[in-house]
Structure 1
């Protein structure tokens, strides 16, 4: 299932340079998400390294970047607050095991069933979330340590540097694509700030304001191996299982949807089940090396793809580069102005948001456009996992309602005086009530034939509807014949089973979705 990644000469340069760009952009996000989860910044940075490296080598989508994410951090915060960080590591370990099971049992394929409007709502919502997250960088602590919006020259410098970063990223590729424009923008703005001694907040200022420690630094050591210090018993399982289930689900949903987005951008196809296993192995590794776990990051993945990164080497470079910065180059990383990273992320927002969705209002069915708006709003207001679930349920209900109206029956009376109903369209829970309205048991002749050759009985509600029709005709003292049902349908019918006429040559053989047959 897994093989060591192969590299071509043409891709090495692009992958290495885009990976370095990703490493620079990963640091402030990993630190911020660590604070969201209520853990030390190093726990978030270690997660960015471990998850990024393991998924780059073993995951199912070359070019996709994984690390510590806000979607998982918000789930972790209450567990850390109530039970401590060791229980977080145990929960991450169990979540990883669940993700591996999802891959082994090939559940990753179901992400292909997510409707396209839900996908558009997902990327639009995440683009808005990324944008809103950057606004926090326009705040500075006052004398009392309370965050206040920038004002005066500091704000103007910040806006100017952000605009310069975006200008370089947008226009440099028109001149040359030899190096990623995002990397050039970060280096240029950093040199400008320190060369002109501009009053602009840097990465180390961000770390110190978040931690409240004036001596805080990004310098660190290698992560160390340690089994989570919790009791391996039922009490621990009861504590961590609810969190593990949510973490596993959120991680897989975000990862598989990001995989699908990158598939569309690159015109290639990732391996969803392999990605599930890769994410699971990454989170298990995090749990035994003191990291908070994570999943795919759509923002960083967009930076990588837009910078030319396509292969596994880009993700490996990003992860290893991040670790090297922590070990040996923290002083260089701490110099980077936040304005440069904000500018990079603003360009990610512009590139991620599906601007064509505004034009869809008049071109697509109203229920599809509403699905886009619904998923976008829920993503921003709650979280992406809930948004996708809501979007899929809404789309499924719309689909069921539309198909519920497709069932009809053409009727005629044959030479023997029997009335024949030729049923057409799917018979399932959504169309069962309309199906019952197609027949007039009171006024029909004494002999009635219902032919299901043009229909398909799908579930238990459909079986109950057929039994109900049989009961209605029986109560009127009339004879009912039922034709062209599958053997499984006949075995499930309670009141109409003996009314079915068997034709071994013509009867269909489809199955029925019901728990009755196990």
Structure 2
């Protein structure tokens, strides 16, 4: 990753200035995702304010920014279209409560089990998604009301201003790191556009393009404080069953994206966030959203990268971003409406370059083919489908790869002892993946009358291993040979149906471990 981080430590000045920068970048994202979900722009802006404020105050990862996100918005579309926005608020409340339960039961720790290739795929996939999302800013509405690509002078100015924004962000830190380069770039490009009256689209132009034709002239980002209201839905079992599927998916998508972003920031800042606390923070924030007219959300990797790269490290950075965003909504909407889209696109392009794990190209040449496959798979599924699906697919494939790799890790050294008994000394795990290879280790037909199977350096992991040992005992018994099984645990012995009579007990040397099986669950 490009090292754009200005500081490893938190301080008030950096947190405040980076928070202001993030607030400016939050607006078009929140508005766009509100339209994706099929709700009014203000509902997305309220979500960005409440999610950012609450998760920054009580969440488990200082410096991480939360708000309305595309991953959550696409889940909401069907519910809003079929039942209306009030059902969405109820679903967000339930999703928040489920997230709080995940935190209370300490499920956040399992994010640490996500394999490294899956993390790389997640990071690269989200970088590509952020990049593709910015391309929509290069489209304008034509006379027929349809979106088309920019042309002519408008396109040239857009490209030039994006390049200028990126140049300021890269070059300014070489001169001074007193202020975030992204904030300076946004202010400079805004002053340049309006001072020279350049032909450039602004934030309010973007909002107008998303509205119906009869509402465009009155478009504004000005609003009021969000107010408390209980969702206007029937409090019945039928309502619960309507919102439950959406709530569960919102809960899972929100936690997966938030906890993976937490892990990414941990890596970038050499610190460690608290996953379970973040689950509770996300849950409280979504629950409050539902009662105050917000669409809910989760961690935003793009805005989090802006914050980290601008020097934001403490909780104050996220709180500042949320409060400044609310200030714009209440008192200074015209100021944020006049920001050129090119400045925000330039900032996000820098985020894309900084987020993408360019070192993965070198890693691919050095790692095994299986890890490279998982990396590309997760990246592709993230871009094509959905982050949560991508991570689940990546973890499952990684688990299967792990099982396949370890399937041949069980080996046996054999020798004949002084009594003429053949001894098989096993080494490696016996489980569903290694059962087939386990059976090939023995020469039943040619073995002597007495055979020893020694598990001193091996373990039986699951019921498949137990069944394999039972089957092997059957085969030796059919040949009229006596089997001696040594160094297995009491639990293994209790699960054996046929081979248990061949087990030789050694109270001192026999190991103690458990077997994954439903019989003892």
Smaller-chain TM-score bracket: over 0.9
Aligned-pair distance for 1:440? Answer: 2.3
Tell me what 2:276 maps to.
273
Greater Cα shift, 78-87 or 23-32: 78-87
* Superposed CA offset, 1:456-507 (max 9, x none): 1111111111111111112222211111000111111111112211110000
Deviation of residue 104 (structure 1)? 0.9
Tell me the residue number matched to 1:3. none
Distance in 2 (CA, whole Å) between partners of 1:516 and 1:236 is 38
Query: Which residue of structure 1 aligns with residue 167 of structure 2?
Result: 167
Per-residue deviation, 1:231:
2.1
**Cα distance in 2 between the residues matched to 1:316 and 1:297:** 15
| 3-state SS of 2:254 partner | helix
Alignment gaps of 5+ in structure 1: 1-8
- Cα distance per residue 1:374-402 (max 9 Å; x no partner): 11111000011111111111111111111
Larger displacement relative to structure 2 (389-398 or 128-137): 389-398
1:236 to 239, 256, 265: 239
Q: Deviations over 1:274-312 (max 9, x none)?
A: 000100001000010111100000100000001010000
For residue 458 of structure 2, give the secondary structure of its aligned residue in structure 1: strand
Post-superposition shift, 1:69?
Answer: 0.3
**Number of the residue aligned with 2:506:** 503
**Is 1:360 aligned to residue 339 of structure 2?**
no
Structure 2 residue matching 1:143: 3-state secondary structure: coil
- Cα distance in 1 for partners of 2:239, 2:443 equals 61
TM-score by length of 1: 0.97
Q: Are 2:411 and 1:408 aligned?
A: yes
* Residue in structure 1 matching 2:221, options 218, 223, 234: 218
Match of 1:47 in 2: 47
CA distance in 1, matches of 2:101, 2:475: 48
Matching residue within 462, 466, 475 for 2:465: 462
Which of 293, 300, 303 in structure 1 is aligned with 2:303? 300
1:11 aligned partner: 11
Match of 1:115 in 2: 115
Runs (5+) with no aligned partner, structure 2: 1-8
Which of 473, 477, 498 is the equivalent residue of 1:474?
477
Deviation at 1:10, TM superposition (A): 7.0
| 8 Å contact kept, 2:10–2:314 | no
Alpha-carbon distance between aligned partners in 2 of 1:232 and 1:392, rounded to the nearest angstrom: 38
In structure 1, distance between residues paired with 2:408 and 2:100: 41
* Kept in 1: contact 2:10–2:311 (CA 8 A): no
Secondary structure in structure 2 of the residue aligned to 1:358: helix
Q: Does 41-50 or 90-99 show the bigger shift?
A: 90-99
Give the 3-state SS of the residue equivalent to 1:516 in structure 2. helix
Residues 1:32 and 2:32 are matched in the alignment: yes
Give the TM-score, by structure 2 length: 0.97
User: Residue 75 of structure 1 aligns with which residue?
Assistant: 75
Which sits farther off after the overlay, 403-412 or 25-34?
Answer: 403-412
RMSD: 1.1
Q: CA deviation at 1:351?
A: 0.4
Q: How far apart, in 1, do the equivalents of 2:480 and 2:74 lie?
A: 64
The match for 2:401 is: 398
Does the residue aligned with 1:426 lie in a helix, a strand or coil?
Answer: strand
Q: Distance in 2 between matches of 1:414 and 1:178?
A: 77
Question: Which deviations, in whole Å up to 9, do the C-alpha atoms of 1:24-82 show, x marking residues without a partner?
Answer: 00000000000000111111000000011100000000000000000010111111111
Q: Residues 414 and 423 of structure 2 are in contact (CA less than 8 Å); yes or no, is this contact kept in structure 1?
A: yes
Matches within 5 A, 1:76-475: 76-212=76-212, 213-214=215-216, 215-475=218-478
Give yes or no for contact 2:382–2:390 (8 Å, CA) kept in 1: yes
CA distance in 2, matches of 1:210, 1:453: 68
The size of the alignment, in residue pairs, is: 510
